[in-house]
Amino acid sequence: ATLDVKDMFFMVPLQEKDREKFAFTWDGIQYTFNRLPQGYKHSPTIAHAALAELLQTVSLPQDVKLYQYIDDILIGGDSPEKVGKVATAVWQILLEADIEVPPEKGQGPSKEVKFLGTWWIAGSAVIPPDTLRKIEELQMPQSRKELQQLMGTLGYWRRHVPGFSIIARPLYSLLRKGKPWKWELEHKEAVKTLTEELKTFQSLGPAHPHDP
């Protein structure tokens, strides 16, 4: 099951003494944030820690695990009933803390949920088919910037590609500072190989199959 907290940054109040650090001027009038702003570089870490502190109060059965990344929550286990009870308990604790959890963004309990862009199917991490299709449809890069964007996309799924760093070596070499841009056959072949490997290893089973 998954839960997605709405606007977690804005759920964290700023202390009075810190508010002046977040002051800004708009149309000649000075304002300041009284909640954690999204643009502050430490906001994700602070928001994650604040939510984690709340989640630590949830009682978990031995065979149920809870995972969190900033404002996204994943609850896994062998029993849909137990997972559902934990999800309800988490929901209740968040609501009591005046933290909104939109019902339409929740998933499960189910054997299939999407979490952080990845399909989780019966314990396996799967690249969504629409993501694979978009990767296949990407054009070969025509500039260093386009290659950086492509490598960002491919690199996100690197754990699905055995020997990713070796296959991608010609591409990373082309991104080195001062390296002249010259797109050659070896670069094209590297992109094709990485794409094919993603399709081959679209689904990854759990390293520890007995973990929820």
What secondary structure letter does DSSP report for 119? E
Is residue 25 a contact partner of residue 31, using CB atoms and an 8 Å limit?
yes
Task: Give the pLDDT of residue 208.
Answer: 52
* Same domain for 7 and 110: yes
**Could you say which of 89, 116, 143 is where a domain stops?**
116
List of residues 6+ apart from 140 with CB closer than 8 A: 183, 188, 191
Range of the domain at 26: 2-116
* Same domain for 27 and 90: yes
Helices then strands, each counted (H, E), the chain = 7, 9
* Same domain for 112 and 149: no
Do the domain assignments include residue 28?
A: yes
Do the domain assignments include residue 121?
A: no
CA angle 60, 66, 72 (to 5 degrees): 140
Listed in sequence order, the DSSP H helices in 56-125 are 80-96
Q: What is the CATH number of the domain that holds 138?
A: 3.30.70
- What predicted TM-score, i.e. pTM, was given to this entire model? 0.71
Do the domain assignments include residue 212?
A: no
**Could you say which of 116, 138, 158 is where a domain stops?**
116
How many independent structural domains does the chain possess? 2
Task: Give the pLDDT of residue 112.
Answer: 85
Longest dimension (CA), the chain: 61
CA angle 54, 59, 60 (to 5 degrees): 115
What secondary structure letter does DSSP report for 178? T
List of residues 6+ apart from 187 with CB closer than 8 A: 170, 171, 174
Is residue 206 a contact partner of residue 123, using CB atoms and an 8 Å limit?
yes
* Same domain for 177 and 109: no
Do the domain assignments include residue 209?
A: no
10 Å Cβ neighbour count for 161? 21
* Tens digits of pLDDT across the chain (212 residues): 999 888 888 888 888 888 888 888 888 898 888 888 888 888 899 889 989 998 999 989 888 999 999 989 999 888 889 999 999 999 999 888 888 888 888 888 888 888 888 888 877 888 888 888 998 888 899 999 999 999 999 999 998 999 999 999 999 999 998 889 999 999 999 999 999 999 998 888 765 555 55
Is residue 126 a contact partner of residue 120, using CB atoms and an 8 Å limit?
yes
CA angle 102, 104, 108 (to 5 degrees): 105
Do the domain assignments include residue 159?
A: yes
* Same domain for 60 and 144: no
